[in-house]
Every structure is written in C-alpha cells, then in structure tokens.
Chain A
Amino acid sequence: MLSPVPDADGAPFWEYAARGELRVQRCADCGEPRFPPRPCCPHCQSFASAWRAVSGRGRVWSYVVPHPPLLPGYAELAPYNVVVVELEEAPRIRLVGNVVAHAGAPPDSVDPARLRIGAPVRAVFSGGLPQWVPA
C-alpha cells in the first residue's frame, strides 16, 4: 500500500492525522480555508496560515469502486470504495478517503452497494490516515 509522501505544504496535515486530529489549513488573515494546502492564500495573498481543527463530520460527495488492473496491495482488496467527503464546516474542503466498517478496517469492509452520495460520515483514524465511518 502507498503511504502519503508529504510535501512541505502538506506535512502539517499528516502530522495532525498521526495524532488522530483532522485539521485544515486556513488563512490567518482573511480566514478562508484552503485545500490542498499551499504557501499563500488565493483570496488575499497572505502567507500567514493556521491549522484549524474540524469536527470530522461530512457527507459523501462522490465515490468510485475500482476494479483491476490495480497496483499490488490494492488489487487484492478490489472491489473497494474510494470516496470524496465534503466537510460539514467547509463544503469546498473535500477529502479523498475510504468508508470503512470501523477504525482500522480495510477499504473493502463496507459493501459498495450501501454507499450513497450525501450519506453522512465521520472521520476516524488508523495508522496515521483518516478513514470514514457511517455516521
């Protein structure tokens, strides 16, 4: 399985995730959240930013069910789900992830037929990665 390879902008997200916290970069001047993280604010061009904790509540914005050919590690899990989750506090912040049966369960632990756009989910953490469980 592939681990995130953070860049300088993304590193804080993964550091917080390793501690079980979901945080989003936000402009320290105008307050606009932004994702993916980047050096300055596209609204006010400020370089000052802060990482704000979010509730972890969200809704499924879309999802796919990949089938082979896939990379080793993923091919064995297929078919599994990948979702995009829209955060409750900041709908334009949409995180890619997996809906799982419980924290630490694999991405094939939920029947894809049960997935729906708009379904409420909440963030849990396992091995430094956020995951999503039905809320």
Chain B
Amino acid sequence: MTASGLKDAVAIVGIGQTAFARQLAEDEKTLACRAVLAALDDAGIAPGEVDALASYTMEETDEVELAKAVGFGDLTFFSRVGYGGGGSCATVAHLAAAIATGQATVGVAWRSRKRGSGPRPWTDTSARLPTPAQWTRPFGLLRPVDEIAMLARRYMHEYGVTRDHLFNVALACRNRANQNPAAVMYDRPLTREMYMTSRWISEPLCLYDNCLETDGALACVVVGRERARDCAEKPVYVHAAAQGLPAQHHGMVNYWNDDPLTGPAWTAARHLWKHADFTPREVDVAQIYDAFTALIPLSLEGYGFCGRGEGGAFTEQGGLEIGGRLPLNTGGGGLSEAYVHGFNLVNEGVKQLRGTSTAQVPGAETCLVTAGEGVPTSALLLRS
C-alpha cells in the first residue's frame, strides 16, 4: 500500500439489517445470515466473492457456520475484536487493513444478538470473576450501568453536568428514532417529565439513561476503492480508523489511574485526527456509542468536539438535534433505535453519507462513528 495508509483506501458499499425488536422468533445464526445477505445484496456482490470476515469476540455465530450457510468463497482473513461494544468500528477497521494490504478483497463485518430475549451478561456470576470483579462485585457493583454510573457521578460532580444534560442526549436519540420506522422506539415520544420521574436503575442514572435490550442483526460490506466504484450504491469511504486502549486503563471500572474520566475515546481520537484531512469542526453528523447517556458528553470531549468538562453544555440549545452543532445518532442509536453492540451506528453513518437516512442531515459529507467508550474502543471517520 502507499504511504497514505488506510486513508480512503476502502469503502463500505453494502449495508443490511434485520428487524429490531425486544423479541424476534429466529435464532442468532439465522438473523446473522439474513443481515449478511441483505448487505451483499445491497452492494450487488455475490456471497461467493467474500474472502474476509470480522466480528466481535462476543458474537455467537462463528465464521464456519456463517460461511457454509450463506455460501462464502475461500476466506483468507477473519478477525474478532474483543471488549463487547468497543469492537464495533474495529470490525470495519480490521477489514480495511486486510483489504488495503492485499490480504483480501471483499470483507463482511456483522453482529447478531438476541440481547432482548436472551440473558443479561451480568447475571452470569462466574464469567466476570475473578479479575477485576473480585474488587467490585462482592460490594454490589454488579452491572455495566453501576460501573458507568460511578464515573458519571464523579463527572457530574467535577464539571457541573446535570441530569438535564443527560436528558438532552436521551431526547435527541428518541427524536431521531421517532423519525425512523425501523427503530424500536419509533412511535414512542419522550418528554422531560417522563425522564425526570422514571425509575432509577443506578443513581444517578435512570431508566432512560440506559440503552434498549434488543434482538437484531446488522452487517456491512467493505471493498477496495477501485472495486467500490463499480458497486450498486454510492461508496462511503473509510477516511480514518483507530482502536484505543489508553495506558493504565481498566475498562468500565476505570477507577485506578490519574484521570479516570479520560477514557479510550481520547486515545482513538488522537490517532483518527492525526490521519484525517478534516477536523472535528468539519464533521457533519456523528454516531456515538450510547449504551448510557453519560458516555455521550464524555465522548464529545474525547473526540475533540468541545473542551474538557464542556460535554454537558454542548448538549444545550438543541446541540445534538438536526440543525444543531452536531446531529447525533440519527437513527435513534442504542438508546432508541436498537442496541446491537453499536453496529447500527456504523450502518446509520453509511446511510447519512448516502443521503438516505430517515433523519437526513442536509448535504452530510463526513461522519464520525464510535464504538463503546469506557472499554477498549474503536472509531471510524467516514466520508462520501
């Protein structure tokens, strides 16, 4: 590859998804097959041409099962990324690296998950012990929401961020979902009254600060830029890609370093912007991982849209709405479209740059997509 590395070397040329619901009848493998075939159909590429795969370590359907079911060709690259929702963008990044370096030519990334009707991972008391759970779970810090609420409380205390700021995040996502017929919360408007009087899950976070629990699957197709020009849909280029695991980081229980409130977003962001031809100011729309509302102001700071401690204020005056400073999670995000470990954010980024979102930002040419903040993460800068 040339000295320019990954910059615009590959494009996302196909996206596919199943329905999203609290409960779907089909199993995860079937849903994975449907999403992958939909993405290939969207791209106008036959399954037999696929030679690369990437998914999450938490994905239940393995490469062998998927490949033999949908009829892939010989695979020469397959990769899994760890840390749950931190891996979403990295699946595309790994395919980009493989294709840009000649290891493969047509890559598929996917995630299929029955988180709506399946078990909650935190109820498995054996899986998360002993490290670092020996330091947290005996004291009743049991769930991801508890771990993030601890950081959220400290963040609110240090910077004067309020529940109204977190509500602004929940509202922006819900408003976009209300425009998206595929979203779980399509016909369910949210009001400040509903938010402020909802039940607590882990104070200071309430029900509406938490993502949905969803069954569903998504996939996308990645090819080199030359091939992309011949595909059925307008290519969406991967302008920059990064993973992020900061020094002395501890995952969602990041309580043991000098500055627990700067997480993996900062690391991924430094790499992204170093390799990009544009700046945060020139990002037209963002799809930022929203398992919890509090991750949004932290990520806005991490990715450089505002300064340290300014993430709450950034959400004011409709900052995250269409027409605001940075339209956010335009399909509804994990909070209100579907929670499929952030893969819907990747596909929504593609829709924006094709001009086909249900909440289209007029003329959008650049989009940031991020994976989970608070765990080893990843991010993509997409451009049309």
Interface residues of A (CB under 8 A from B): 1-7, 9-10, 14, 35-36, 42, 61-67, 69-71, 74, 77, 79-80, 82, 84, 92-98, 107, 112, 117, 129
Q: In the docked arrangement, what's the CA distance between A7 and B140, Å?
A: 19
Q: A84-B150, A92-B258 are in contact. Are A10 and B140 (CB under 8 A)?
A: no
CB distance from B118 to the nearest CB of A (A): 15
A66 touches B202 (CB 8 A): yes
A64 touches B130 (CB 8 A): no
Among the interface residues A9, A84, A117, which one has the most CB atoms of the partner chain B within 10 A?
Answer: A84
B140 touches A35 (CB 8 A): no
Residues in chain A near residue B135, CB distance under 8 A: 4, 10, 36, 95-96
B132 touches A67 (CB 8 A): no
A74 touches B142 (CB 8 A): yes
B27 at the A interface (CB under 8 A): no
B136 at the A interface (CB under 8 A): yes
- Spot the interface stretch: B151-159, B171-179, B270-278, B311-319: B151-159
B123 touches A71 (CB 8 A): yes
Q: In the docked arrangement, what's the CA distance between A77 and B135, Å?
A: 19
Q: Lowest 7 A-B CB distances belong to which pairs?
A: A65-B203, A62-B154, A5-B130, A5-B129, A4-B134, A64-B149, A67-B200
Interface residues of B (CB under 8 A from A): 120, 123, 125, 129-143, 146, 149-151, 153-154, 157, 199-204, 248, 250, 253, 255-258
Residues in chain B near residue A70, CB distance under 8 A: 140, 142-143
Q: In the docked arrangement, what's the CA distance between A10 and B132, Å?
A: 9
CB distance from B130 to the nearest CB of A (A): 4
B133 touches A5 (CB 8 A): yes
Residues in chain B near residue A35, CB distance under 8 A: 256
B140 touches A62 (CB 8 A): no
Among the interface residues A9, A36, A62, A80, which one has the most CB atoms of the partner chain B within 10 A?
Answer: A62
Q: A92-B256, A93-B256, A94-B255 are in contact. Are A66 and B125 (CB under 8 A)?
A: no
Residues in chain A near residue B123, CB distance under 8 A: 71
Query: What would 5 A/B residue contacts be, using CB atoms closer than 8 Å?
Result: A6-B134, A65-B200, A71-B142, A79-B203, A92-B257
CB distance from B149 to the nearest CB of A (A): 4
B139 touches A98 (CB 8 A): yes
> CB < 8 Å: which of A62, A77, A96 contacts B151?
A62
Residues in chain B near residue A84, CB distance under 8 A: 150, 154, 255
Q: In the docked arrangement, what's the CA distance between A13 and B133, Å?
A: 14
B130 touches A4 (CB 8 A): yes
B142 touches A36 (CB 8 A): no
> CB < 8 Å: which of A1, A64, A107 contacts B150?
A64
Q: In the docked arrangement, what's the CA distance between A70 and B201, Å?
A: 10
CB distance from B102 to the nearest CB of A (A): 37
Residues in chain A near residue B203, CB distance under 8 A: 64-67, 79, 112
CB distance from B245 to the nearest CB of A (A): 14
B150 touches A63 (CB 8 A): yes
Q: In the docked arrangement, what's the CA distance between A42 and B248, Å?
A: 9
Residues in chain B near residue A96, CB distance under 8 A: 135-136, 139, 141, 253, 255
B138 touches A64 (CB 8 A): no
CB-CB nearest in chain A for B137: A2
Q: In the docked arrangement, what's the CA distance between A23 and B25, Å?
A: 52
A82 touches B146 (CB 8 A): yes
A117 touches B154 (CB 8 A): yes
Residues in chain A near residue B140, CB distance under 8 A: 66, 70, 74, 77, 80, 82, 98, 107
Residues in chain A near residue B157, CB distance under 8 A: 62, 117
Residues in chain A near residue B255, CB distance under 8 A: 61, 84, 94, 96
Among the interface residues A36, A79, A97, A129, which one has the most CB atoms of the partner chain B within 10 A?
Answer: A36
CB-CB nearest in chain A for B125: A2
A64 touches B146 (CB 8 A): yes
B202 touches A36 (CB 8 A): no
Q: In the docked arrangement, what's the CA distance between A7 and B134, Å?
A: 8
B256 touches A67 (CB 8 A): no
Q: In the docked arrangement, what's the CA distance between A42 and B256, Å?
A: 13
CB distance from A97 to the nearest CB of B (A): 5
Q: A7-B131, A79-B200 are in contact. Are A71 and B154 (CB under 8 A)?
A: no
Residues in chain A near residue B199, CB distance under 8 A: 67
Q: A10-B131, A62-B154, A94-B256 are in contact. Are A2 and B202 (CB under 8 A)?
A: no
Residues in chain B near residue A14, CB distance under 8 A: 134
CB distance from B361 to the nearest CB of A (A): 36
Q: In the docked arrangement, what's the CA distance between A84 and B155, Å?
A: 13
